[in-house]
């Protein structure tokens, strides 16, 4: 599968996560339940084939290996991503970010504060610093990808 | 005499600060008893001066305390001469010092050295770096299927006449205790210089250097109830005396002119610059403090905890244990199904279980095991039954959440 095809294939699952799991995590009150949902997010998303687990897509700064694909549609001026990781927590956290950002335009993205994307989910106080920095590394990479097209 | 773990635990203010945490990361660093912290603070508050150089009485007093710390460690390890105790920043620096110092003095191009496949990177990379520079070959002892060092292969590799054999006493991943007394004997019979990485081993068992008869032995203070930034290189006097220093400057020098420099005697010739004075005093305090307890009782308490943890984990379906149950110094590495160790650790962190996940600075070992990593639970004598119960509950919860 090409990077393009994988990003296409990921669109619907990310939309579904935004509609279902994102509010479900925000609404659930105990950490176990939040995590139960989080850990299973990855199952809805396509897995990167070996040829997509390439160094050029690798994100530095994660405890586990992680790859990010990005696509900018020049005509609609919209951004799309797909993400995979060996670790379920990171894959889930990034999915919660991507599902809020996928399909947005340069303008829309410029107005967003990435640092508060996951705040309403009540996960942050729990997530360990190394996991946060893994997520942060992905968000930083996304920000630079947006900037490069802007 | 039964061991009062709660009284022992009360020696550590840390646990009062964090009553809700279970600390199972002692192989990374141990907590320090108040006696050690107090010794360091007292040095700074009451005796602080530089050592070996002041013209004033205060400096002489600091020097006395600093050298008294060396004596305490020398005594605890039963070395022949106090000059055989060299202060370093830790095991890593000590191993670097040995590897660098033997190159060109003992090790010549075409020579061989012998390592084992379960070494910490600190006992691999310095050798690799200097061996490459000097054209020295490295052979590696593999593990048997029971995850013990393969002694038969060890003996075969000794026939290649390695000049140095360097190995860990206790694996920081598996917790396995190597029969180092036997291995040192074999290596010496083959004419090799022996280097023991005691970073984990010294916690398990205080070495008697004369009985062990190894040429070098290294450890870090912070893994033995001591401060960070201080460690020890023990070496046989004659060998230390011929070791080429890694660093130059300060008290290690007797006379300098631009025509040349004469080095000081041991131990100073290997201790360049102002040493970690307070650290040395803190480490000596750790040895002195530890001497107040019955070491056999500490050991058997830790063994009991380990067995409870081991059996408890074994009973949880989904957990694969890497560490053997026997000949184990109190380190349990495991995985849950095919889950990534960082996911397991994340869920345990949620439940306030402090441990480590990954390859634990022993990537070659994980390559040999063909695993991406593991979660490591490491015990110390300050852990109690409650810690084990909490951990087992947390592991069960983790297995459930990962389904
Ligand atoms: C077996 C072993 N050797 C060496 C080291 C390095 O110790 P330090 O980082 O204190 O120098 C460690 C620490 O993790 C260890 O476990």
Please give the ipTM for the structure prediction: 0.87
Q: Please report the beta strands in chain A, taking only residues with DSSP state E, as ranges in sequence order.
A: 66-73, 78-85
- Helix, strand, coil distribution of chain B in percent, nearest 5: 45, 20, 35
Q: Known catalytic residue: A62?
A: yes
CB A32 within 8 A of CB A39: no
Residues B388-401: what's their mean pLDDT? Answer: 97
**pLDDT, mean over chain B:** 96
Q: Which residue of A has its CA nearest to B349?
A: A128
For residues B31 and B21, is the Cβ–Cβ distance under 8 A?
no
Q: d(Cα B275, Cα B89) in Å, to the nearest integer?
A: 9
A121-141 in b/e form (b: 16+ CB < 10 A) is bebeeebeebbeebbebbbeb
A127 to B401: CB separation less than 8 angstroms, yes or no: no
Residue B295 and residue B299: Cα distance in Å, rounded?
6
Across the interface, of B340, B346, B401, the residue whose CB is closest to A128 is B346
Count CA atoms within 13 Å of residue B219 on its CB side: 30
Atom of ligand 1 nearest to the CA of B89: 11
Token pair 């068992």 in the structure block, residue: B205
- Residue B315's pLDDT is 98
Q: Which residue among B172, B175, B276, B362 has the greatest number of ligand 1 atoms within 8 angstroms of its CB, and so is best to mutate?
A: B172
Interface A–B counts its CB contacts (< 8 A) at: 36
Give dist(CA A44, CA A49) in Å, integer.
15
Shortest distance between the Cα of B356 and any Cα of chain A, in A, equals 12
CA angle, B47 as apex, B45 and B53 as ends, to 5°?
135
Interface check A128 vs B, CB under 8 A: yes
Contact between residue B163 and residue B193 where contact means Cβ atoms under 8 Å apart:
yes
Residues of chain B neighbouring A87 (CB-CB closer than 8 A):
340, 342-343, 346
Q: Hey, are the CB atoms on B340 and A131 less than 8 Å from each other? A: no
Residue identified by tokens 């015990």 is: B379
How much distance in Å is there from the Cα of B121 to the middle of ligand 1?
Answer: 8
CA B199 to centroid of ligand 1, rounded, Å:
5
Owner of token pair 């060396």: B70
**How confident is the model at residue B261, as a pLDDT?**
85
Find the range with the poorest average confidence among A129-138, B20-29, B139-148, B318-327: A129-138
Give the tens place of pLDDT for each residue, B336-392.
Answer: 999 999 999 989 998 999 999 998 999 999 999 999 999 999 999 999 999 999 999
Active-site annotation holder among A52, A59, A62, A142: A62
For residue A132, pLDDT beyond 80: no
pLDDT per residue as tens digits for the range B129-170: 999 999 999 999 999 999 999 999 999 999 999 999 999 999
> In terms of CA atoms, which chain A residue is nearest residue B339?
A87
Give contacts of B346 with chain A, Cβ < 8 Å: 87, 89, 127-128, 131
- Using a CB-CB distance cutoff of 8 angstroms, which residues of chain B are in contact with residue A32? 397, 401
Chain mean position to CA B342:
24
A131 has a chain B CB within 8 A of its CB: yes
* H or E, element range at B374: strand B374-378
pLDDT tens per residue across span A81-112: 999 999 998 899 999 999 999 999 988 998 88
pLDDT at position B252 is 83
Dist. CA B376 → ligand 1 center (Å): 15
**Which of the residues of B are catalytic?**
361
pLDDT band at B1 (very low <50, low <70, confident <90, very high): low
Ligand 1, CB cutoff 6 Å, lining residues: B 90-92, 120, 122-123, 168, 172, 197, 199-200, 220, 361
Return d(Cα B288, Cα B369) in angstroms, integer: 39
What residue's CA is closest to ligand 1, atom 9? Answer: B92
User: What is the rounded CA–CA span in Å between residue B321 and residue B332?
Assistant: 7
- Euclidean distance between CA atoms A10 and A81, whole angstroms: 8
């Amino acid at each position: 599968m090409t990077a393009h095809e994988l990003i296409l294939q990921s669109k619907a699952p990310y939309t579904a996560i935004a509609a279902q799991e994102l509010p479900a995590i925000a609404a659930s009150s105990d950490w176990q339940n939040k995590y139960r949902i989080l850990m299973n997010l990855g199952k809805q998303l396509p897995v990167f084939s070996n040829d997509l687990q390439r160094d050029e897509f690798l994100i530095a700064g994660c405890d586990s290996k992680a790859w990010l694909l990005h696509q900018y549609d020049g005509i609609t001026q919209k951004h799309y991503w797909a993400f995979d990781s060996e670790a379920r927590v990171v894959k889930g956290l990034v999915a919660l970010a991507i599902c809020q950002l996928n399909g947005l335009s340069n303008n829309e993205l410029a107005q967003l504060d990435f640092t508060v994307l996951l705040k309403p989910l009540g996960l942050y106080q729990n997530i360990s610093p190394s996991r946060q920095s893994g997520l942060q590394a992905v968000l930083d990479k996304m920000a630079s990808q947006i900037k490069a097209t802007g | 005499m039964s061991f009062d773990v709660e009284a022992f635990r009360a020696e550590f203010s840390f646990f009062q600060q964090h009553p809700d945490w279970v600390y199972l990361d002692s192989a990374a660093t141990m907590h320090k008893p108040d006696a050690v912290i107090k010794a360091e603070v007292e040095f700074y508050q009451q005796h602080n001066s530089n050592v070996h150089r002041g013209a004033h009485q205060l400096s002489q007093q600091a020097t006395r305390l600093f050298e008294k710390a060396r004596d305490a460690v020398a005594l605890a390890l039963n070395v022949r001469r106090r000059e055989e105790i060299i202060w370093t920043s830790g095991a890593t620096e000590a191993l670097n010092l040995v590897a660098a110092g033997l190159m060109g003095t003992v090790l010549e191009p075409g020579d061989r050295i012998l390592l084992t496949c379960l070494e910490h990177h600190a006992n691999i990379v310095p050798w690799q770096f200097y061996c490459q520079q000097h054209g020295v070959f490295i052979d590696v002892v593999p593990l048997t299927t029971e995850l013990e060092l393969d002694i038969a292969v060890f003996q075969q590799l000794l026939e290649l006449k390695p000049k140095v054999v360097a190995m860990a006493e206790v694996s920081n991943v598996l917790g396995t205790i190597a029969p180092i007394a036997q291995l040192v004997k074999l290596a010496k019979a083959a004419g090799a210089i022996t280097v023991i990485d005691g970073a984990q081993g010294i916690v398990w068992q205080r070495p008697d250097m004369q009985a062990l008869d190894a040429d070098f032995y290294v450890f870090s203070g912070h893994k033995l109830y001591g401060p960070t930034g201080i460690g020890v290189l023990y070496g046989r006097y004659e060998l230390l005396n011929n070791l080429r220093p890694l660093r130059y400057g300060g008290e290690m020098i007797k006379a300098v002119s631009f025509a040349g420099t004469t080095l000081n005697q041991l131990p100073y010739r290997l201790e360049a610059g102002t040493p970690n004075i307070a650290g040395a005093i803190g480490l000596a305090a750790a040895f002195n403090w530890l001497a107040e307890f019955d070491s056999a009782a500490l050991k058997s308490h830790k063994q009991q905890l380990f067995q409870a943890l081991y059996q408890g984990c074994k009973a949880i379906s989904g957990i694969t244990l890497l560490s053997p149950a026997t000949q184990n110094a109190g380190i349990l590495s495991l995985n849950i199904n095919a889950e990534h160790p960082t996911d397991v650790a994340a869920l345990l962190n949620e439940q306030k279980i402090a441990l480590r996940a990954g390859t634990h600075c022993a990537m070659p070992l994980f390559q040999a095991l063909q695993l991406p990593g593991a979660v490591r639970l490491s015990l110390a004598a300050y852990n109690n039954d409650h810690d084990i119960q909490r951990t087992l509950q947390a592991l069960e919860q983790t297995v459930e959440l990962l389904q």
